[in-house]
Structure 1
């Protein structure tokens, strides 16, 4: 036996000198299968139940191990076992290579025995028992004690626990320990010899003991069968891995809380920003539901790359009466806290100017500058789209075919397998808003010419808006309100809210019908005392809503005042 072991170790050195029951705390992302064993021999065999688990604590944000892997087994494993050191699947993925070792092997026997990890012909594994065990407070505190990481830090959501099944078996007379990933690398180094002698263990039961139900930490979920022989490439890409994650590990899904002020009886857009520390694909999308005023608005199939964010929005119509509403926000498909949006619904009430009279005077009037209020005329936002990018690779499946007379040959019964992955593209949206206002004398001003008129007569306003956007209708509204201010009131105290004549992205607005107008015209009367010169009207165009907030712009236009309506009166004898 010593001679066989020494020969095997020498062979390994040559090959690898060539570069190449407490309450649940965690959430287990793994499943398992396998079963059935081929015939063994005195040189190549495995005793069912002789298994274990390698445990590595991984930092979520960069997927890096923060502790040395530790091995658990129910049996007392000898330190002289042939092994490859304590290396995790992530470390192999990052470039570590196999390093054969003899002696100095350490494994831990927990006081509460592990469930059976690897299936056999006489035993089907209970994956729920495995989840319950490794998600328990007992197991996690044991891992914390051995690794030296505090229990509170371990479960705070910044880390995940990587699990890998281990098989202890005899191969070519040497007693060995290896994870599924190591078995695949070892088989490649031996040119398929491990698979040839131990296929049911190393290429079925061991790798299928644990695999991911959902993609995580850069490893895709396994969608193949749970009782089939698998290739080295499949093992390295998919199998022999389980993950315990914790409730706060998916921190976004971070959902912000916003407060909006809306006008009554208005189309609006409400939005939140969603951020995730875990990539979201069609395999595990996010859904967001907004609940307001007895109605639910659900946005499904939200895809976001790891560590990225996007706005999620919905379009709705505000009530006709002033009130404060709380919009509840809930996220499904992720471990996220609920959030809310506060919507203050206010009435846009006109402060109608008083009726001007022929006797009005204002000897102390001085003109004010046209206001220059903050405006927002453009917005940009976007959303992530996700698509599958295929990558077809040939996966070999070498089988020994006997030709009789103790001879035979190897046949590759492999197949083409899509090893592609989800990719992302950013769909960028924009909205640009503008408006113009035209002020002109009212048609009932008999002596007006072009933009020149006498004081005391009325003026008409016409505001035309333009919203240019590539966004869907569900993300934008046209302008819905215009408030106009006048120089005789120093653009304060009184205002007029315009009527919407045409709605949409090219909406138009005019003055409301004036109850003091003899002809019920849409007019505003200039004061008879207004001095000669420029009479400028200022207006704010508002309630253009996008996920990036409200767009607004300020407009102004003028007429020239020259004389007063008294100049149009003539008093004389009637002939």
Structure 2
């Protein structure tokens, strides 16, 4: 009868526990310094913990805490009321909002004057910015782009524009392109005045006697020299011939300048009449004229003729009576000129044989003193080749002293004289040598011009300009400009005409290599992971202006086809030359990938790298409910749960701010706060002196939270999986000997227990568990960081076990 009564009581207790066990949740202490009674989480708009503060005090007492100051953030309120917990650590959350700050960029010239409109923008703390500097013709900015990250104050930057220096070059050349004189040049900023006087070149006239103006970019000006016009000379030749043939008189020849007028009287030939008594005109070419003489017709010969002699002064007027007398044909006459005092006749007598009427005038000149003798000098002109030897016959002629002379140099085919004419006034014997130089067929020259431009058309470097002979071979190395690559490193060829070439500079394409950098841990389906890569840079800096955007893709292969599950871009990767940096991508692994292989790939330009991970399914383990066994299992021994851990990770990221590189270090430190509490249906549970005491056989709850201390801006995932290891199973990791926890409102808890009333989140402590401390060990896993995945171990508070459930429910006989 007593045995039946005990069995009935046992079954009643089992039913009551099953009916009345309830889910109990409470704010639980994290793994904080021992004795903390309250803690404050400072979180941002995205729920990320910015800082954690711990407090100690008397239970249930309250105080007002001034909102902690966090750089770059503003709390939602200036203070918060905090009450110290009694049985557990009270948790409070204070929300913070990122502050906004003003970004101002001034654009000015070197003298402080405004160069362009000021740029202003309002941005959040921690935001990155990249502002291209305006392009101003003729000026170079101190920074083509202003980059950086907003700090906890208004940011002011100044971009200074320095005037570019340009060169104006004046080339002097003949009409055939050959150099006539050395070039002149001047360098300065736009607006600088210049003035060049064109050099004097003998025998040539420049197209501009002076070149002046103000500099406006690189300029090349050409002054062309044209040979001065030489008045040509032509020869007039007059031939005198009889109409019946034969020469009537010596030919007349004379060389004159083009355009000269001439008038030549034809000589008188007795018995003949010229068809042109005078040959006249203007000489415009070599001209030959023929004067023809025709014999006069015979006339009746008279028998007498008259001789008439006039006597006149050479100054005018009659000097004596006219002599007139008729003679028989053929009569010889000899008439003495009358004597007139003080005068001398030009003919002292007039004589001859009269065969025709004849008229003679005798002029009387006043007697004067005897004039001095006239002095004559000889002009000798030698015509020689410059290389030696006679070029033409020597010219030699006597002139009276003081005579003006002008002698044209003879033409010599293929040669040019150094004097086209020799002229002057002869006052002494004079010898002149005219040298003939062989005409040179000039080789034409051409100009090579190379413009150096950026892709947007602005000037990258000073223009190259050089004049060379036709057929010249050229090879010009393009200037080196940091962070840019020329589309032609060398401009070369053979010059056959004026040539212009544009070398375009484009932003250098980064040369990077990739490696996996995130550990060998595989991924778990249904979790968020971080895939990390090491990037090794080559011999050139990578700056924001290069837009080094590295693409990420995660995929798996199904039936030979790649199935993409995630993509991302790392914007504007920066790194100094010959350095190694880190990039990473956070993405969600679908549940459906469990058991598959996933490939993580990054690419930039032609560079591609990938690695593979096996995706494992989440493990699920739950312990069976107690059957109220009164005897402990065979072989059971009590084991120590071990100690809690605090795990850290750190990594570094390259940043580029205000024209310099900085390797920014990020850290993450985590610990696990674990609290176990008797179920509310454990009627005999007692909390004394900060510790719970309960009987075995009742249920208890668990609350686990990951504590985080991290650098602002650090990327990581929260703990995504957690398992509780129990002392009754000697903290075994064998399936169904530990409990997989579930994340509920930011804390890990037991899964709902269907054997309890309302499926409370509890685990029943075995009735057989011996008196003493009961401690649970928890491991939080799948905390991903750019440095790899980490996990942390937490040890719960100890519950003192004293007695069993039967001590509360046993009914005696």
* TM-score, length-scaled by structure 2: 0.37
| SS of 1:38 mapped into structure 2 | strand
CA contact (8 A) 2:698 2:805 kept: yes
Tell me the equivalent position of 2:762.
523
RMSD: 4.2
Match of 1:277 in 2: 538
Correspondent of 1:365 among 636, 653, 663:
636
Pair 1:437 & 2:674 matched: yes
The whole-number CA distance in structure 2 between the counterparts of 1:201 and 1:383 is: 53
Mapped to 1, the partners of 2:603 and 2:707 lie a distance apart of: 35
What is the DSSP-based 3-state SS (H/G/I as helix, E as strand, rest coil) of the residue aligned with 1:302? coil
Aligned residues: 335
Partner of 1:478: 718
CA distance in 2, matches of 1:200, 1:211: 16
Match of 2:604 among 314, 332, 351: 332
Shift of 1:37: 8.7
Deviation at 1:549, TM superposition (A): 1.3
Aligned mates of 1:533, 1:280 — CA distance in 2: 64
Question: In structure 2, the residue corresponding to 1:377 is in which secondary structure?
Answer: strand
Matched, 1:215 2:482: yes
- Tell me if structure 2 keeps the 8 A contact 1:37–1:121: no
Q: Work out the CA distance in 2 between the residues paired with 1:281 and 1:354.
A: 60
Deviation digits for residues 458-480 of structure 1 (CA, Å, limit 9, x no counterpart): 1111112222223547x222222
Match of residue 527 from structure 2: 266
Deviating above 4 A after TM superposition, structure 1's stretches of 4 or more consecutive aligned residues are: 40-45, 120-127, 198-202, 205-209, 220-223
Q: Counterparts in 2 of 1:510-549, with a 5 A limit? A: 510-549=749-788
Which consecutive residues of structure 1, in runs of 5 or more, have no partner in the other structure?
1-33, 46-119, 128-180, 185-194, 228-239, 390-422
For the 8 Å contact 1:485–1:495, the answer to whether it is kept is yes
Q: CA deviation at 1:427?
A: 2.5
Q: Do the aligned residues in 2 keep the contact of 1:290 with 1:328 (CA within 8 Å)?
A: yes
Q: What is the 5 A alignment of 1:497-516?
A: 497-502=740-745, 507-516=746-755
2-side partners of 1:548 and 1:484: how far apart? 26
- Within the candidate set 33, 38, 44, 2:171 is matched to 38
Structure 2 runs not aligned, ≥5 long:
1-166, 174-178, 184-444, 453-460, 492-502, 556-563
CA change 1:464–1:254 in 2 (3 A) is: closer
> Which residue of structure 2 lines up, in the alignment, with residue 560 of structure 1?
800
Cα deviation for residue 206 of structure 1 reads 9.3
Higher helix share: 1
1: CA distance, partners of 2:467 / 2:447: 14
Q: Quick one: structure 1 residues 345 and 372, their matched pair in 2 at CA, closer, same or farther if it must change by over 3 Å?
A: farther
Provide the C-alpha distance between the structure 2 equivalents of 1:326 and 1:343, rounded to a whole number of angstroms. 5
Aligned-pair distance for 1:289?
1.5
Match of 2:572 in 1: 301
Query: Which residue, out of 544, 549, 554, partners 1:287?
Result: 549
Q: Distance in 2 between matches of 1:315 and 1:38?
A: 65
> What is the TM-score normalised by the length of structure 1?
0.51
The answer to whether residue 812 in structure 2 is matched with residue 569 in structure 1 is no
Cα deviation for residue 382 of structure 1 reads 2.6
5 Å-filtered alignment, 1:38-437, equals: 38-39=171-172, 121-122=446-447, 200=466, 209-212=477-480, 215=482, 250=511, 252-256=512-516, 259-278=520-539, 279-293=541-555, 294=564, 295-321=566-592, 322-332=594-604, 336=607, 338-359=608-629, 361=631, 362-371=633-642, 377-389=647-659, 423-437=660-674
Residue 465 in structure 1 maps to residue 737 in structure 2? no
The structural deviation recorded for 1:331 is 2.9
Higher strand share: 2
Q: Distance in 1 between matches of 2:716 and 2:616?
A: 20
Aligned-residue offset at 1:264? 1.9
Q: Give, in angstroms, the shift of residue 363 of structure 1.
A: 4.6
| Larger radius of gyration between Structure 1 and Structure 2 | 2
Q: What whole-Å deviation, never above 9, does each CA across 1:241-289 have from its counterpart, x for those lacking one? A: 99xx9x9x94x42433664322221122111111112321124343221
CA distance in 2, matches of 1:254, 1:215: 24
